[in-house]
Chains A and B, each alone.
Chain A
Amino acid sequence: MSRIAETFGKLESNNRRGFIPFITAGDPDLQTTRDLIIELARAGATLIELGVPFTDPMADGPVIQRASERALRHGFGLAEILQTVTEARQQTDVPLILFSYFNPLLQFCANEKADGTSALPAFKFEILTREAKRAGVDGVLVTDLVPEEASEFVAVLRANDLDMIFLVAPTSTDERLQMVAERASGFIYAVSRAGVTGAREEMSAEAEMLVRRVRQFSDLPVAVGFGISKPEQVADVWRYADAAVVGSAIVGELEQAKSSADAVSRVGRFARHLISG
């Protein structure tokens, strides 16, 4: 059983709900990212989403775009992010997933230099899964990889005991929910409303409806994200879903931090506030 399944299993048997924070790796720097992972685990995170920065984060609102831009200034890549996970793993067992756009993962899997004269270079997903597994990553969520294109990637992940997390949205049809249910493992991420990431004043009623629909197709835990920034919203999501994801609101705290230590204490404080209400 994967660490993600085990974690949700424990939550369920204790009749508790999960809290899933998101941070962008390397924002403000990778050392702070490592410290944030450890602090968020201490604060009670069920699982942590580690964003892989990308130049063109088309599914993200301005807050996470800016985090990507800050992180990219350091010029590191996935190898360095995995090294950070390795370091954090020495101090915490909290499940970690990579939250990424496809291209940075794909290029990590390019096992030869393209010479430009012939067809596509071979992309070997085993390279990513092997290194991610070794670092202590538990799953991967790829925002711009649709389930019908993901079979090969999912197969390699599953063969290595890594979970593939898929996004579903209120606009997803039943056929699509079914397709996701067949391919997903770990948990399913329900997007609370149509649109990009970012905090909102009000949570839409669509989220609850969507979770109910997902449950018709899958027994996997369902997490709800996009737009959650307050303890009341977390508590509300907990009424009907297995976990609440908070991203932009946490990244917004990071943005205001004056130092690395300030970032860690701010985020820890904010996480505890979100969970305890």
Chain B
Amino acid sequence: MAPLEELTAAYEAARADESFQQELDGLLRDFAGRPTALFLAQRLTEHAGGARIYLKREDLLHTGAHKINNTLGQILLARRMGKARIIAETGAGQHGVATATVCALFGLECVVYMGSEDMRRQALNVFRMQLLGAEVREVDSGSRTLKDAINEALRDWVTNVANTYYLLGSALGPHPYPVMVRDFQKVIGDETREQILEKEGRLPDCLIACVGGGSNSIGLFYPFLSDDAVRMIGVEAGGTGSELGQHAARFNAAGGGRPGVLQGTMSYVLQDERGQIATTHSISAGLDYPSIGPEHAFLHDEGRVEYTSVSDAEALAAFQMLSRLEGIIPALESAHAVAHALKVASEMKTDQILIVNLSGRGDKDVDTVRESLEPG
């Protein structure tokens, strides 16, 4: 607990310090490339035949995904805390790349834990991290994916806490991470709000984002939570079926999702009846996690945000469709949000507005998609 208390105190102090926010804003602008565009996807809109679909282009950020928003915030915090060694976990590799990037930027030692299954799926990102000077440590325990990488990072942290900062990549884990990561990601929603007001003169009718741990979605949703007229939908990974082990849809009660405790957080967890954590499946490594950020559990129970899931096949179809219709190759994670947006938009009126968070670009997924599309 001592490390978490130290982190909480340091974060509270940083949050109250104007110079911290100024430094972060400067880096977000000059290094990461903020603000990102809010793009009206006209051909996608025509295809769906309903609401106007806007894409929040987090895929245009440096390193190719929203993850850099959070890693920049946390690296500044780590520097304030005087920690010289940074550790992180990664699933798809996007957070690992974003962490390796900010460590290179500030000349800090970087160790990234990654499940061996994910290393296989995301070989390109492994190499990118190495190019950036990070050490990628293979995690060969449990399901060899994101949750096991988090376990290993936590073990490292408690062992080396004196000089080590754990740069967690999603809005999960123990306090203060869910709050801190949300705060660093809410720039997505803040910008979106400003941009849509400028373009349309009003708030959107619906927001859609994919939900793994839940950082890009909470970042988009959070600034709109008190706008009751704005509908919000989080899209989980439906994988290949609804049996436990075939998906990562934590809010699917029939599929084994129910409240539990994992990695210092109480939330919805995919588990068997004995409380053992289930293996999950998704074509996208970034959504392949058996629990979900606790704020999403709250928003689910409150009924403020709707949650649904999209299958591997639907995500693959949306991946190709967005590539062909808009010239944008999305991350497979984001393709889940696009897939659901097409369904929802088609049921909306043409004067309504739907915004999809395009959380990352798809270069990293090209191999996976090619394998999936090749016959036999």
Chain A residues within CB distance 8 Å of chain B: 54-59, 61-62, 65, 69, 72, 77-78, 101-108, 110, 114-121, 144, 146, 169, 171-173, 176, 194-196
Decide yes or no: A103 and B262 within 8 Å by CB, A196-B155, A196-B158 being known contacts: yes
Supply 10 A–B pairs (Cβ within 8 Å), ascending by A: A54-B277, A55-B276, A69-B141, A77-B274, A77-B275, A103-B262, A103-B275, A104-B276, A116-B251, A116-B257
Contact assessment for A144 and B274 in the assembled complex, using a CB-CB cutoff below 8 Å: no
- Name the residue on A nearest B5 (C-beta): A173
User: What would 4 more interface pairs be, CB under 8 Å, given A55-B276, A115-B253, A116-B258?
Assistant: A59-B158, A104-B274, A171-B2, A195-B155
Is the C-beta of B372 less than 8 angstroms from some C-beta in chain A?
no
Decide yes or no: A106 and B161 within 8 Å by CB, A55-B277, A61-B155 being known contacts: no
How distant is the Cα of A61 from the Cα of B147 in the complex, in angstroms?
16
- Name the residue on A nearest B255 (C-beta): A116
Q: Which of B11-19, B103-111, B194-202, B263-271 is the interface stretch? A: B263-271
Contact assessment for B251 and A58 in the assembled complex, using a CB-CB cutoff below 8 Å: no
Contact assessment for A55 and B5 in the assembled complex, using a CB-CB cutoff below 8 Å: no
Most central of A72, A78, A103, A146 by chain B CB within 10 Å: A103
Is the C-beta of B33 less than 8 angstroms from some C-beta in chain A?
no
Is the C-beta of B260 less than 8 angstroms from some C-beta in chain A?
yes
Decide yes or no: A108 and B275 within 8 Å by CB, A58-B151, A120-B301 being known contacts: yes
Of the residues A56, A78, A115, A121, contact of B151 by C-beta under 8 Å: A56
> How many whole Å from A71's CB to the nearest CB in chain B?
11
Decide yes or no: A172 and B2 within 8 Å by CB, A58-B263, A106-B261, A116-B257 being known contacts: yes
- Name the residue on B nearest A101 (C-beta): B261
Contact assessment for B271 and A103 in the assembled complex, using a CB-CB cutoff below 8 Å: yes
Is the C-beta of B3 less than 8 angstroms from some C-beta in chain A?
yes
- Name the residue on A nearest B259 (C-beta): A120
Which residues of B have CB within 8 Å of A176? 1-2
Per the 8 Å Cβ criterion, residues 147-164 of B in contact with A are 147-148, 150-151, 154-155, 158-162
Decide yes or no: A194 and B258 within 8 Å by CB, A55-B277, A72-B276, A107-B273 being known contacts: no
Contact digits for B226-256, partner A, Cβ 8 Å, 1 yes 0 no: 0000000000000000000000000111100
Which residues of B have CB within 8 Å of A108? 274-275
Is the C-beta of B142 less than 8 angstroms from some C-beta in chain A?
yes
Contact assessment for A105 and B253 in the assembled complex, using a CB-CB cutoff below 8 Å: no
> How many whole Å from A173's CB to the nearest CB in chain B?
6
Contact assessment for B253 and A65 in the assembled complex, using a CB-CB cutoff below 8 Å: no
Which residues of B have CB within 8 Å of A173? 2, 5
How distant is the Cα of A88 from the Cα of B262 in the complex, in angstroms?
31
